Amino acid sequence: MSVIKRAIVIPDQHFPIEDKKAVSVVLKAIKIVKPTLFINLGDVGEWASVSPWKWKRKKKPPVEYQLPIIDREIIEVNRRIDIFDEALDEVKCKKKIICAGNHDEWLDSFVGEHPYLSDYTFKEACGWKERGYKYYSFNHPVKIGKLTFIHGAYTTQYHAKKHLDSYGENIIYGHTHDIQRHTKTDLGGTKAAWSLGCLKDMSPQKNKWLRGRLHNWNHAFAIIDWFRGGNFKVEVNEIINGKTTVWGHEINA
């Protein structure tokens, strides 16, 4: 049973507050795995500059005041996307997919309020077409073989079960920032849902909105192999304190 396609899948990065060690691990894994497909599950940017909570209990300033702040964040996010694209170019990975996340769509909401600023949509601001990515809007299902990808729709305690029950197909998503799997078998066969964690800086200093609350977040990424007939194998690689192993290779950020 030969592999006909191999992908690396990354969950929420929240640039520019990514976990630098976790990102470094994934970049090194790309060079080892040499994927033929790269899938970004979204929340590429934190997009604090256009957060719906940024001006809560404050008077929103004129758009000409907001734009320089947004421009700076767009530059920072694009710089980090560049680093991933350089690693993918190095291993000649040409097929790339981006699934917009809910944070990413905050840019689109900003443009909805200011329709004359169409260059500020997530799709345009990050130049996904020019980068060679196939773009999918927030939670538009992307099906490859017998496996479906979305950013993520639910954050319940047992969100993997909720995703599997709701979508009824093998599905991989991010959004929740933690690692979880749920499997269900019936007479039609076995299906599963995987939550891939995140690549975000998980420290309290970068997530003050949590107000010290504990969370179940984890750093991880996935390697997926497809075989003939659409069958597949998912390998979730957890990153612990900037370290993981891939195929017997120890990766240390």
Full DSSP string of 77-117:
HHHHHHHHHHHHHHTT--EEEEE--TTTHHHHHHHHHSTT-
- Residues 98 and 136: beta-carbon distance below 8 Å: yes
Q: Do residues 249 and 33 make contact, with C-beta atoms less than 8 angstroms apart?
A: no
Confidence label for 7 from pLDDT (cuts 50, 70 and 90):
very high
Q: Would you report the helix, strand and coil content of the chain in percent, each value rounded to 5?
A: 35, 30, 40
Question: pLDDT tens digits, residue range 218-232?
Answer: 999 999 999 999 999
Q: What percentage of the chain carries pLDDT values higher than 90?
A: 88
Across 63-89, average pLDDT? 97
Average pLDDT of the chain is 96
What is the distance between the alpha carbons of residues 222 and 107, in angstroms, rounded to a whole number?
27
Cα of first residue to Cα of last residue in the chain, in angstroms, is 33
pLDDT higher than threshold 80 for residue 235: yes
pLDDT at residue 210 is higher than 80: no
Q: How many other CB atoms are found less than 10 A from the CB of residue 225?
A: 17
Q: Say if residue 211's pLDDT is above 80.
A: no
Distance CA 166, CA 93 (A): 33
- Enclosing H/E stretch for 64: helix 63-90
Q: Cα separation of 106 and 49, whole Å?
A: 9
Task: Identify the pLDDT of residue 75.
Answer: 98
* Per-residue pLDDT tens digits for 138-188: 999 999 999 999 999 999 999 999 999 999 999 999 999 999 999 999 998
Give the pLDDT score at 57. Answer: 82
Q: What is the C-alpha to C-alpha distance for residues 182 and 249, in angstroms, rounded to an integer?
A: 28
Mean pLDDT over 61-66 rounds to: 93
Q: Categorize the per-residue pLDDT at 208 as very low, low, confident or very high, splitting at 50, 70 and 90.
A: confident
CA distance 158 to 140: 22
What is the pLDDT, as a whole number, of residue 213?
80
Q: What percent of the chain has pLDDT over 70?
A: 100
Q: Are strands 133-136 and 95-99 parallel, antiparallel or unpaired?
A: parallel
Tell me what the mean pLDDT of segment 185-205 comes to. Answer: 93
How high is the pLDDT of residue 58?
85
The stretch 10-22 carries a mean pLDDT of: 98
Nearest to 220 by CA among 253, 179, 250: 179
Confidence of residue 215 (pLDDT cuts 50, 70, 90): confident
Interval 94-130: pLDDT, tens: 999 999 999 999 999 999 999 999 999 999 999 999 9
Contact criterion met (CB below 8 Å) for 102 and 151: yes
**pTM (predicted TM-score):** 0.95
Residue 14 confidence class, pLDDT cut points 50, 70, 90: very high
